[in-house]
Amino acid sequence: MDSIRVAIIDYELGNTGSVRNALDSLGAQVCIAKEPDKLEAADCLILPGVGAFGDGMDHLRRFGLVPVLDELVLGQKKNILGICLGMQLMARRGFEHGEYQGLGWLDADVIGMDSARLNLKVPHVGWNDVTASRDGVLLGGAGCRNSFYFVHGYHMVCNQAEDVAGVCNYGEDFTALVERGNIFGTQFHPEKSQKAGLKLLQSFLSFSCQGLRLCNA
């Protein structure tokens, strides 16, 4: 089979260049797109993101991407990986500078990290360990651990414990990795996490390839 086709969703609020470079190094066919036909043609999707929750949803709505993504992800079950803000937007609500409705793909809220209570600097910036809380696709079996690069001041709180696939500790445990069917998300930046990040992205691509083989069998 030809190399997998990956669409990075362009809503003008993501670090698309570094994500593309990482995927290029893995041999994927990559496009950066917001057009529905280009997203439809991809084998899997990546939703990157840098910035505030409300701005992220505003940009997705401005480009008419919410119904398109709902159809591709919830209707057609196309695999998607959300990165940082991209993962947070998959939640029902975000509470960054107000309350905002998210995509609602995960039963979760996105709340701020409390620097006073944690007695730590916020945002959380730098390398930190992520431990698999259960067997999963992206990180491996329960207890597997690797170090990734974080830049965030908000984090996801999942109401369904089974959605949490990995946790990180920064004063307390928080959700660093989610997996629910065809929906995946990382609070950290795999594209900035060197070998560990490339390995995780390869796991996502390999899982998506396996799904395509089953569909085409």
Q: Is 144 a catalytic residue?
A: no
Catalytic residue among 84, 96, 152, 179: 84
Could you give the angle at the alpha carbon of 72 between the alpha carbons of 209 and 164, nearest 5°?
70
**β pairing state of 100-101 and 93-94:** antiparallel
Q: Is 209 a catalytic residue?
A: no
Q: Tokens representing 120?
A: 């730590």
User: How many whole angstroms from its chain centre is CA 52?
Assistant: 15
| φ and ψ at residue 212, rounded to 5 degrees | -65, -40
Return the closest-CA partner of residue 150 out of 132, 133, 167, 135: 167
Is the CB of residue 99 less than 8 Å from the CB of residue 201?
no
Catalytic residue among 96, 152, 168, 191: 191
Is the CB of residue 130 less than 8 Å from the CB of residue 82?
no
d(CA 217, CA 204): 20
Q: Is 172 a catalytic residue?
A: no
Catalytic residue among 59, 124, 152, 189: 189
Annotated catalytic residues are 84, 189, 191
